[in-house]
């Protein structure tokens, strides 16, 4: 039952977007977030929306995969929009409910909030759909490595993420095994109220934690035996190199950002 | 005689929280290119010995030399670990990366090998253990025996002179056990890599050149397997079973069959029994 859980949401096909440098993709995401928040009027969202459609086309990822990320957020989305419609201040009153006024400005701003949230999710989904988790970790490590000077543990964080990614399938498999063993002895993980179900998880989590700690000790030993001594003096098998496409992508993002700023300012 | 790769002189060691010695006055020597075994029950101190051999633990007293370097000298640590790799018991708990190739690269990255040299060395190492076609697989999709061979490749890529195997086959099924042991024998034969094979399986120890038997942190017996295993009473006193073939030969001898000494493996024992029977029917 746990094996149905997919790891991350990487969509493994070949495309221009997939082959971009992970560092550039992270930078592009940050710039896209800036663009989304800079957009000050309805018109300014148009180029952003056009950009994400174009990017998803180039990525060979079906557009509905991008939209899938919004589903789990739909309640937050609706809640945010509705709440803001009621409580944002405004001048042009459309409906007076006594305890609250619904104004034109509030409706527009609330819808803008909703659009921003949707665009944010889509841009981040595009990154995780087109970049394998390990590659993403690699990119993050190298983007953050200059911060090592101020003692920011970039290498350690990346190593932790890599190991977590490596061990998630192993631990899931183990949890599945323990669950089956406990079910065979009459444990029930699927019925009862929330409290009953949480209680049923205890005999699953305890052995899982014990084993995870044992694994951690073993792994630390094995890593040391293989000469691991932190990030210092370490070389890497995969060398990241920015290529022409990376700079073209950056340029396109700059154009987007500029047009969003111009539209927000002057239209 | 060739130089010793591992030279252990009167080493004792105790864990901080324990009052008993986990290692008591142990001495041993493994020459370059050899295939030696350490045999012992659970808790006899085999893993402690293994960890003393590459500086993961330092002796409380005595000296451990690896390729002539003292493990107690901190500046030797990385040299020692590169020259004497170690494969552990649990295949899952020693693979670091999410892709086979990246895992084999892990040790190379740690010792600072240039990125341009890595692919060649990784390819060769995977080829040597017969796992080249799995280079892009995720480790959790492999069998136990395959994972152990990946772990071996990760060590091999670092071009060590010796590898210590700490019960590397204990968690594998019979098929995986055979495939890993065969791969290690090949490395020893073809690449001259010194092997210290730690195990509690007699059958494996019987195929090594020299056996050290451990009990309670001490080495209680040593010698060629033919000598060591031909004393079933002594083995029994140590709560160890001689290989099945050796026990069978011993019983047959006791029952009066004239079998030659030093029988360890099923096949040669069968041949010897057949020979004895033929002699018998002629007489
Ligand atoms: N981390 C540890 N802390 C304390 N005692 C330990 C530790 N590891 C092993 N021991 C003890 O040292 C002895 C030898 O253990 P070990 O070397 O693991 O034996 P083997 O590998 O032959 O099973 C045992 O009595 C064991 O309980
Ligand atoms: Mg052990």
DSSP B16-53: TT-SS-SEEEEEEEEETT-EEEEEE-TTSSHHHHHHHT
Provide Rg for chain A, Cα atoms.
Answer: 24
Whether the pLDDT of residue B14 is over 80: the answer is: yes
Whether the pLDDT of residue A217 is over 60: the answer is: yes
Q: Confidence class of residue B2 from pLDDT cuts 50, 70 and 90?
A: low
Residue of B11, B12, B15, B57 to mutate, ligand 1, most atoms within 8 A of C-beta = B15
Instruction: Give Cβ neighbours of residue B254 (< 8 Å, ≥ 6 apart).
Output: none
Check residue B283 and give its pLDDT: 67
**Residue B276 to chain A, least CA–CA distance (Å):** 50
The predicted-structure confidence for B193-231, as pLDDT tens digits, reads as follows 999 999 988 889 999 999 999 999 999 999 999 888 877
Question: What is the C-alpha to C-alpha distance for residues A247 and A267, in angstroms, rounded to an integer?
Answer: 29
The predicted-structure confidence for B225-271, as pLDDT tens digits, reads as follows 988 887 777 777 777 777 788 888 888 888 888 888 878 788 888 88
CB distance A204 to A175 below 8 Å: yes
**Residue from A137, A226, A236 whose CB has the most chain B CBs within 10 Å, to mutate:** A226
Taking all residues of chain B, what is their mean pLDDT, rounded to a whole number? 92
Inform me whether the C-beta atom of residue A171 falls under 8 Å from chain B C-beta atoms: no
Domains and CATH numbers, chain B: 4-242 (3.40.50.300), 243-283 (no CATH)
Whether the pLDDT of residue B22 is over 70: the answer is: yes
Inform me whether the C-beta atom of residue B252 falls under 8 Å from chain A C-beta atoms: no
* Of the listed ranges A96-100, A247-251, B12-16, the one predicted with least confidence: A96-100
Whether the pLDDT of residue A2 is over 80: the answer is: no
Check residue A7 and give its pLDDT: 46
Question: What is the C-alpha to C-alpha distance for residues B220 and B77, in angstroms, rounded to an integer?
Answer: 29
**Residue B239 to chain A, least CA–CA distance (Å):** 28
Q: Is the ipTM of this complex over 0.90?
A: no
Whether the pLDDT of residue A129 is over 60: the answer is: yes
CB distance A77 to A70 below 8 Å: yes
Question: Which tokens sit at A1?
Answer: 């039952």
Whether the pLDDT of residue B158 is over 70: the answer is: yes
Check residue A179 and give its pLDDT: 87
Q: Do B88 and A218 touch (CB under 8 A)?
A: yes
Please identify among residues 200-239 of chain A the ones whose CB lies closer than 8 Å to any CB of chain B.
Answer: 214-215, 218-219, 221-229, 233-239
Question: What is the C-alpha to C-alpha distance for residues B99 and A169, in angstroms, rounded to an integer?
Answer: 13
User: What are the φ and ψ backbone dihedral angles of B258, each rounded to 5 degrees?
Assistant: -80, 80
Whether the pLDDT of residue B1 is over 70: the answer is: no
Check residue A3 and give its pLDDT: 37
Q: Which residues surround ligand 2, an ion (CB under 5 A)?
A: B 47
CB distance B1 to B31 below 8 Å: yes
């Amino acid at each position: 039952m746990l094996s149905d859980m997919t790891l991350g949401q990487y969509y493994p096909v070949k495309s221009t977007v997939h082959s971009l440098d992970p560092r550039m993709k992270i930078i592009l995401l940050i710039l896209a977030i800036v663009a989304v928040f800079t957009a000050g009027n309805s018109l300014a969202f148009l180029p952003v929306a056009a950009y994400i459609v174009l990017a998803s086309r180039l990525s060979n990822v079906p557009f509905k995969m991008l939209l899938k990320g919004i589903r789990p957020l739909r309640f937050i989305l609706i809640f945010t929009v509705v709440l803001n419609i009621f409580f944002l201040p405004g001048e042009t009153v459309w409906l007076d409910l006594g305890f609250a006024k619904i104004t034109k400005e509030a409706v527009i701003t609330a819808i803008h909030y909703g659009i921003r949230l949707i665009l944010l999710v889509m841009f981040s989904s595009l990154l995780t759909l087109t970049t394998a988790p390990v590659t993403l970790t690699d990119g993050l490590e190298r983007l953050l490595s200059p911060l090592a000077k101020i003692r920011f543990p970039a290498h350690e964080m990346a190593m932790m993420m890599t190991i977590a990614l490596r061990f998630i399938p192993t631990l899931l498999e183990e949890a599945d095994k323990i669950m089956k063993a406990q079910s065979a002895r009459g444990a029930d993980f699927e019925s009862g109220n929330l409290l009953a179900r949480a209680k049923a998880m205890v005999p699953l989590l305890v052995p899982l934690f014990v084993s995870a700690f044992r694994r951690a000790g073993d792994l630390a030993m094995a890593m040391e035996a293989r000469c691991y001594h932190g990030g210092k003096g370490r070389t890497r098998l995969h060398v990241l190199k920015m290529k022409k496409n990376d700079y073209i992508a950056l340029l396109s993002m700059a154009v987007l950002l500029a047009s969003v700023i111009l539209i927000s300012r002057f239209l | 005689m060739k130089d010793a790769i591992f030279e252990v002189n009167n080493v004792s060691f105790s864990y901080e929280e324990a009052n008993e010695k986990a290692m008591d006055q142990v001495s041993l020597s493994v020459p370059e290119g050899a295939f030696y075994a350490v045999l012992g029950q659970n808790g006899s101190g085999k893993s402690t010995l293994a960890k003393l051999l590459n500086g993961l633990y330092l002796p409380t007293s005595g000296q451990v030399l690896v390729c002539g370097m003292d493990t107690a000298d901190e500046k030797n640590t990385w040299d020692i670990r590169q020259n004497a790799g170690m494969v552990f018991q649990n295949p899952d708990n020693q693979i670091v990366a999410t892709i086979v190739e990246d895992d084999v690269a892990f040790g190379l990255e740690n010792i600072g090998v240039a990125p341009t040299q890595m692919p060649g060395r990784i390819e060769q190492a995977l080829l040597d253990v017969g796992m080249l076609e799995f280079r892009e697989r995720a480790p959790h999709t492999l069998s136990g025996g395959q994972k152990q061979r990946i772990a071996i490749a990760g060590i091999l890529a670092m071009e060590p002179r010796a590898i210590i195997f700490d019960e590397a086959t204990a968690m594998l099924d019979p098929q995986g056990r055979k495939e890993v042991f065969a791969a290690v024998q090949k490395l020893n034969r073809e690449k001259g890599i010194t092997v210290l094979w730690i195990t509690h399986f007699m059958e494996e120890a019987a195929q090594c050149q020299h056996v050290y038997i451990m009990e309670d942190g001490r080495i209680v017996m040593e010698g060629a397997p033919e000598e060591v295993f031909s004393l079933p009473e002594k083995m029994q006193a140590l709560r160890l079973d001689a290989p099945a073939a050796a026990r069978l030969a011993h019983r047959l001898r006791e029952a009066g069959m004239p079998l030659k000494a030093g029988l360890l493996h099923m096949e040669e024992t069968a041949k010897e029994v057949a020979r004895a029977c033929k002699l018998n029917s002629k007489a």
